[in-house]
Amino acid sequence: MAIQIPKIADFISKTIPSLIQKKSREPSVQRRVGLNIGKANLVACELLVEGERLSLERCVRKELVKQKPVAQQVKDLFQEGKFETKEVRVSLKGEGIVIRYLSFPKMNRADFASSIQFEAEKYLPFNVSEVTLDYYVFSGNGEDAKAGADTMQVILVAARRTEVDKLLALAREAGLIVKAIDADIFAYANAFEFSHPDELKRCVGLIDLGAGDTTLGIVDKGKLSFSRDIAFGGADLAEMVRRKLNVSEEEVVKILCDDSLKQPESLSAIHQGLDHLFRELSTSLNYYYGQHEGASPIEVFYISGGFSQLSILPELLGKQVEVPVQKWDPSSRLAVGQAFDSEALKAMIPYLPVSLGLAIHP
């Protein structure tokens, strides 16, 4: 098992070596399952891999029930979905994992490997003894050389051992075998790279709008250059709107799911709720451009996640970022199994990037 660097452009299929890794030769025909355990939903996708052909065979989403153990809900999901393998790829996000995009003085790989264990603690919010640490050093060619000939660009990844252990224990309790642990943003970027290969020629923003949080990623000409988790999601917006309008939880869901929002009071409450998210996104983008002198401007934002289904969000977000905002389909280049209901797939598209990205990566 390993936390894997995303399958993006010039480091396709690179794997960070030390995190719970088991190396084995993959068969030419295999089934790969990506399981995304979110704060509000469970999503699992099973791919049939035959050489370079990937076929989506199963895909199931279920809302999490607060009163029921998550492991039991995962077990039920796999039984109901009739998945053909118990091996899964899962992911971490939020407080369980830290990702840093750093520059270091150029040195050979062996010297860097020796020094990073001591240097890493400067960039982490917790003790290095509490984490499993990995990194990726960019090649220094082409776009990666922008930072200068005397520096090298590094992605540093630290996963808290307690969070990794929790994830492994949950999988065991559900009767599953963890094949790999990834970072949510890496899996998300993998799915985007697979479904939109032509977009790797320019700078794009990726926004995963979940129930509990929002993840921003920036891919500049095929290189994941920045990511940040924002502690604001659809559940936070719903609660803010509910309080503002003094309505029930059931009523606020109807308001947010209305494709033709026209009530001034509802629109005003939603705008006020979104202002917080937009400020956080603006702060993140300003930080990115401040840290990346001469960075290419973002030309388009791609959004997904359950929260992205808010009908007025693309337009409002587009006005804030001043570039086009589009929804995207991570399954667009996948074959679909004969037994799979392609119509049912349409309703699941906003929820699929992370689970599909996990399954797509070798």
pLDDT tens for 272-329 read: 999 999 999 999 999 999 988 888 999 999 999 999 999 999 999 999 999 999 999 9
At residue 208, what are phi and psi to the nearest 5 degrees?
-100, 110
Higher pLDDT, 136 or 61: 61
The CA-CA-CA angle for residues 225, 226, 231, to 5°, reads 165
Q: Are 177 and 86 contacting, i.e. CB atoms less than 8 angstroms apart?
A: yes
Q: Write out pLDDT tens, residues 11-63.
A: 223 333 333 333 455 567 899 999 999 999 999 999 999 988 999 999 999 99
Torsion angle of C-alpha atoms 278, 280, 284, 286, degrees rounded to 10: 70
Cβ-based neighbours of 158, under 8 Å, separated by 6 or more: 97, 98, 120, 124, 128, 131, 132, 133, 134
DSSP-derived pairing of the beta strands 53-63 and 41-50: antiparallel
Side chain identity at residue 268, one-letter code: S
What Å distances lie between residue 15 and 5, 97, 170, 180, CA to CA? 6, 17, 24, 10
Q: Would 1-196+328-362 and 200-327 be classified into the same CATH topology?
A: yes
Listed by start position, the domains of the chain span 1-196+328-362, 200-327
Taking the C-alpha atoms of residue 336 and residue 109, their distance in angstroms, rounded to an integer, is: 42
pLDDT confidence band for 105 (50 / 70 / 90): confident
- pLDDT value of position 149: 66
Instruction: Dump pLDDT digits (tens) for 63-83.
Output: 999 899 999 999 999 999 999
DSSP 27: P
Residue 8, classed as helix, strand or coil, is coil
136-141-143-144 Cα dihedral, nearest 10 degrees: 30
CA distances to 148, 256, 289 from 112, rounded to whole Å, are: 18, 50, 27
| Predicted TM-score (pTM) of this structure | 0.88
Over 50: is that where the pLDDT of 356 sits? yes
- What b/e readout covers 53-89, taking b as 16+ CB neighbours within 10 angstroms? ebbbbbbbbeeeeeeeeebebbeebbeebebeeeebb
Domain 1-196+328-362 annotated CATH 3.40.50.300: no
Q: Is domain 200-327 classified as CATH 3.30.420.40? A: yes
pLDDT at 139: 66
Nearest partner of 126 among 161, 91, 101, judged by Cα: 161
- CA atoms of 100 and 120, how far apart (whole Å): 10
**What's 51's DSSP letter?**
T
If pLDDT is split at 50, 70 and 90, which confidence band does 258 have? confident
